[in-house]
Structure 1
Amino acid sequence: MASLQDDHDEVVERFEPTSGRVSGWMTVVLTAVLAVAGVAYADEGFPLWVAAAGVLVGVLAWAVMLRPALWVTTEHLVMQNLGETLHIRLAAIEEMAVRQVLVVRAADRRFVSTVVGRTWRKALTSRHRPGGLAGDAALAPTEGMHYADFVENRLYDLVDTARRRAEIRPGSPEQLALPGAVRREPAWVPLGLISAALLLLVLSLVL
């Protein structure tokens, strides 16, 4: 993803997904086998629409469960989602919390990443750190802590550092007025693959 950053906005840290990868890969493999079987046994009456549906499910599984990614650059929190990649300026982040998904508020808007999350039970019992606090030693990342807790605290540290560097207070008019708070990049590859798979399914039902 080097093309997404210039020399002054290099990747600082990447975060691993907390769920969905195993089931995602299993779905992709199973649907690939189904699609291959559909082509191999088409002359023996194997329904083409079943193979086409398998392709669509496989593409959706990849786009929804495997493609999403989360990383931080010098200046931005980057959320790679199904249909777009979001570049959120760290100093512009107003609030943030890891619940069942990561929720970030910036430029008076709400953004979500499914890469990092807690179970429903863990989300109910976790401690929430207000967006404006910095240097909370009790919540600093420690060895053996839950990975979602580590990610949340690491993101707070990076956001706090960016705010101090920009001399911005959370919730201040200066923060809301920061230029380039959020940049969106459409994800043409997954959107194109999903559209093509849908078209293939429709054609298989018509023919």
Structure 2
Amino acid sequence: MQVGLTGGIASGKSTVSAILAELGAVVIDADKLAREVVERGTPGLAAVVEAFGEGLLTPDGDLDRPSMGALVFRDEARRRTLESIVHPLVFERIVALEEEAPEGAVVVHDIPLLAESGRADTFDAVVVVDVPPETQVERMLRDRGWTREDAESRIASQASREDRLAVATHVVDNTGSREDLRRRVEEVYAELTGPARAS
């Protein structure tokens, strides 16, 4: 059972992902893998240094993420170069993790930009963590110390709430308490494991 998990920024997707893992799902986090494949000592980091130079390393020899982000954010050609290094390595890791998953497992792919990618229909189910945009803004102001302008521009750069809900087979409302959220995630997981067991 292949499941896509998505949600807008500050929707609580990471919390839902953690609960699903606790319940027994195999969670594959593409963002986390993208960090792992360019850790110090990896062929991925060596390829990034070869393409962009050693100026993007910290004194300790790690990738300086903020500098890298600033560089590729402004330059599409460089962003594509970085993606051409990182994406194949991430894909390799995803395939390996899928192959290692136990028979009949619910494999959850944590993909922030799933609605934007046009890949929602490649999954057996899509779980969308949903909150109103104003809740997203409030959380970014409170938890991340962002300005309202920064929060609103980040939301505007992602798929709309309507576009995300349009690809959902399961919606997890995250406007209530942590207990409400856990209850809803348990319900969704029970629904997902039903067909997984049947097949």
Bin for the TM-score computed over the shorter chain = under 0.3
Structure 1 or 2: more helix by fraction: 2
- In terms of fraction of residues, the more strand-rich structure is 1
- Tell which has more relative contact order, 1 or 2 (C-alpha 8 A, sep 6+): 2
**Looking at CA atoms only, which structure, 1 or 2, has the larger radius of gyration?**
1
With structure 2 as the length reference, what TM-score do the two structures score? 0.25
